[in-house]
Amino acid sequence: MNRQALIHQIKSKGTYLCVGLDTDPEKIPESLLDHPDSIYEFNRQIIDATMDHCVSYKINTAFYEAMGARGWEIMERTIAHIPATHLIIADAKRGDIGNTSAQYAKAFFATMKADAITVAPYMGEDSIRPFLEYPDKWTIVLGLTSNKGAADFELQDSGGQKLYERVLETVSRWGSPENLMFVVGATQADEFLNIRKLVPDHFLLVPGVGAQGGSLAEISAKAMNKDIGLLVNASRAVIYASSGADFADQARQAAAAYHDEMRQYLNGF
Amino acid sequence: MNRQALIHQIKSKGTYLCVGLDTDPEKIPESLLDHPDSIYEFNRQIIDATMDHCVSYKINTAFYEAMGARGWEIMERTIAHIPATHLIIADAKRGDIGNTSAQYAKAFFATMKADAITVAPYMGEDSIRPFLEYPDKWTIVLGLTSNKGAADFELQDSGGQKLYERVLETVSRWGSPENLMFVVGATQADEFLNIRKLVPDHFLLVPGVGAQGGSLAEISAKAMNKDIGLLVNASRAVIYASSGADFADQARQAAAAYHDEMRQYLNGF
């Protein structure tokens, strides 16, 4: 899905919500436990219930890998179930030397058919380039993350600027707003105005609202650009809105609440 | 496998070679192409041929993920075939917020039964801690990598030191030489003396000899510590030593040549 199509989806639906499928076998509702394919069935019901309220799904690969090869197979079928109208993000945080990153790009873009992948910047340009070379695919590089550990390196000085600022500045030269986004955590609201000076045109993928405590209102006010430029992810707050038999309906309502709020902030687009 | 057992293996065999199973379906010898399970069969023959000459195998997850769920299944069976005498490294370069890193730790330590995993440091302490919490398992954090992109961030200034130096110094406080190693590329020989000042006791996993051009002699002279403290990885130079029907035998000879050289450098232990 290219930039124009993504912006069209956001404007026409009035939402920039991404729903994170961090599906944990230990949190599957009791009503599904007897289902022979319970993880996939959970995902399928969540997707069907929330698709009118979001423009993207983010698959957190860790939760599937914890199940081994079976988890990968569920991840593949889950992606196949997501409609083409929605941007599919593999939240995989990959990155390695060039010939290995090329294999990761193949894994997620060609084999798994995701539209986007999250990538860690530590190893530099040749670890990121192979992802950027796929047409109509997105590379989403970690900028400033939502966790406490962001203070350990990302926020440290790097030659007169913060490391994450150097990452945004440097990596933005390797791609364009057509194929490159950055991850910026919702808990980092103080930094958003600064971030928009460094990368005014790029889309930002913003996790950390809901369970991690970031404010949707504040992020939207500070980080939206002329093309919206925001995908805000909620995972646990949507998919685990209820642990009962009504989990899908409650997930729909949680996603609809974000949608309603986002529609206000999109007023004027 | 704990530190004492690893050191015992190295001393008793006279080798600190790690063989990297970066198995690429496009490089499988013609003689195996008709085999119904050619990738696993290639790995099995490589392992059987090289095990006397190495103390560790490193599985590069990217090459398996490029095959999708089937690749994960092959990775699991390959790991099951590696004898308990050998340290099994999942070269996965993972790292995410705490609850997600906990899932990656589960994936590679519990489900896949690897002894060690490579982890990227960008996201800081809570992205690394969950791996360190597994007893008798190893977390191998990226320090200074072998690729050209190391110059983009790792070698940049970070408050008066280089970023990779900050990473070594900071991360070494989170674990101990009993559960933490660092990746340092063989192409970075100029930095090894400095690295040993920062982390005198930790094992270093050193990729980049062979195809990437690093010198085994130089690394061994500069980076060995009183407990050896080195695992040197060769991937392509061993597993693709021949593309003919003699691939396993040629791999054995390539591994044996490293073994012979390492035995000299271990003289005195």
| 8 Å CB contact of A123 and B63 | no
| 8 Å CB contact of B68 and A107 | yes
Rounded Cα distance between B92 and B116, Å, is 10
Q: Looking at beta carbons, which residues of chain A come within 8 Å of B209?
A: none
ipTM, interface predicted TM-score of the complex: 0.97
**Nearest beta carbon to residue A72 from set B68, B95, B146:** B68
- pLDDT tops 90 at residue A188: no
**Nearest beta carbon to residue A96 from set B62, B128, B212:** B62
* CA nearest to A98 within chain B: B147
Look-up: residue for tokens 């899932």?
A: B103
Q: Which residues contact B187 (CB under 8 A, 6 or more apart)?
A: B146, B147, B208, B212, B213, B214
Measure A258 CA to nearest chain B CA, in Å.
23
pLDDT digits (tens, 9 = 90+) for A218-261: 999 999 999 999 999 999 999 999 999 999 999 999 999 999 99
**Are B237 and B213 in contact, with CB atoms under 8 Å apart?**
no
Q: Residue A69 corresponds to which tokens in the numbers above?
A: 């090869």
The pLDDT assigned to B190 comes to 87
Rounded Cα distance between A113 and B131, Å, is 29
Rounded Cα distance between A166 and B167, Å, is 16
Q: Residue B242 corresponds to which tokens in the numbers above?
A: 């021949």
For chain B, 269 residues long, give each residue's pLDDT as a single digit of tens.
Answer: 999 999 999 999 999 999 999 999 999 999 999 999 999 999 999 999 999 999 999 999 999 999 999 999 999 999 999 999 999 999 999 999 999 999 999 999 999 999 999 999 999 999 999 999 999 999 999 999 999 999 999 999 999 999 999 999 999 999 999 999 999 999 888 899 999 999 999 999 999 887 778 899 999 999 999 999 999 999 999 999 999 999 999 999 999 999 999 999 998 78
**Share above pLDDT 90 across residues of chain A, in percent, rounded to a whole number:** 94
The pLDDT assigned to B167 comes to 98
The pLDDT assigned to B210 comes to 78
Q: Looking at beta carbons, which residues of chain A come within 8 Å of B155?
A: none
Q: What structural domains does chain A harbor?
A: 3-265 (3.20.20.70)
**Nearest beta carbon to residue A149 from set B67, B127, B153:** B127
Phi, psi of A196, deg, nearest 5 = -70, -25
- pLDDT tops 90 at residue A214: no
Q: Residue A14 corresponds to which tokens in the numbers above?
A: 């009035």
CB neighbour class for A246 (10 Å; exposed up to 12, middle 13-18, buried from 19): middle
Distances from the Cα of A125 to the Cα of A23, A103, A251, B66, B95, angstroms:
32, 16, 39, 21, 19
Q: E strand or H helix at B50, and its extent? A: helix B38-50
Query: What is the SS3 assignment for A204?
Result: strand
Rounded Cα distance between A216 and A255, Å, is 13
Region class of A264: left (phi > 0), else alpha (psi between -120 and 50), else beta: alpha
Pick from B119, B107, B121, B110: which is nearest to B65 by CA?
B107
The pLDDT assigned to B206 comes to 97
Rounded Cα distance between B79 and B62, Å, is 15
- pLDDT tops 80 at residue A211: no
Size of interface A-B (CB pairs under 8 A): 203
Q: Looking at beta carbons, which residues of chain A come within 8 Å of B128?
A: 149
